[in-house]
């Protein structure tokens, strides 16, 4: 189920999802590996920070696991760590089915994320804020979202 979700996710177009026991692609190529054992999903591979965070979010959304261990190696495509974090949070918010189309602005300074804008209900506010936790380098989240 997770492998199918990763393969059909538009953000991972052209990124191979490698089965357990298969040989991974060359070192510089992006890829995702998935192993499931005893209710735990292990993610491996190589992606940008946004992809690493999105893959983990998809793993948790399968609902068929009790834990996710994200061992995906990420390499920054930008020199600014704050911009890398902002991009990862934007991708997670933009891809989430409850939040797509919501006018949410993401600002990051020194690893601290500030969410600005409006959402339709309190649940969307909670989801947006909690998605920031999927980005491993986020130090703190400042939720300034208004509920319409």
**Residue 48 has what pLDDT?**
86
Q: How many alpha carbons fall within 13 Å on the CB side of residue 81?
A: 9
> For residue 27, what pLDDT is reported?
67
Cα–Cα distance for residue pair 8/56, rounded to 1 Å: 15
pLDDT at position 76: 65
Q: Which CATH number fits domain 81-147: 2.40.50.140, 3.30.70.360, 3.30.1340.30, 3.30.70.980?
A: 3.30.1340.30
What pTM does this model have? 0.67
In this predicted structure, what is the pLDDT of residue 96? 87
What residue segments make up the domains of the chain, in order of their start? 2-74, 81-147
d(CA 22, CA 117) in angstroms, rounded, equals 44
Q: How many CB atoms lie under 10 A from the CB of residue 99?
A: 18
Q: Consecutive 10-residue runs of the chain (148 residues): their mean pLDDT?
A: 89 88 77 89 88 91 86 74 90 86 92 95 92 88 94
Tell me, what's the pLDDT at 6?
Answer: 92
pLDDT of residue 117: 95
Look at residue 19 in the predicted model and tell me its pLDDT.
79
């Amino acid at each position: 189920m997770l492998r199918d979700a990763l393969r059909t996710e538009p953000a991972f177009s052209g990124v191979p999802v490698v089965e357990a026991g298969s040989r991974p692609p060359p070192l510089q190529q992006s890829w995702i590996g998935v192993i499931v054992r005893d209710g735990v999903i292990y993610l491996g591979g190589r992606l940008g920070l946004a992809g690493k965070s999105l893959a983990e979010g998809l793993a948790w959304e399968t609902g068929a696991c009790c834990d996710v261990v994200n061992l995906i190696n990420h390499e920054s495509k930008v020199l600014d760590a704050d911009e890398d974090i902002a991009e990862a949070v934007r991708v997670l918010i933009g891809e989430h089915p409850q939040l797509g189309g919501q006018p949410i602005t993401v600002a990051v300074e020194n690893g601290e994320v500030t969410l600005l804008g409006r959402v339709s209900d309190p649940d969307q506010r909670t989801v947006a804020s909690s998605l920031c936790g999927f980005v491993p380098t986020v130090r703190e989240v400042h939720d300034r979202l208004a509920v319409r």
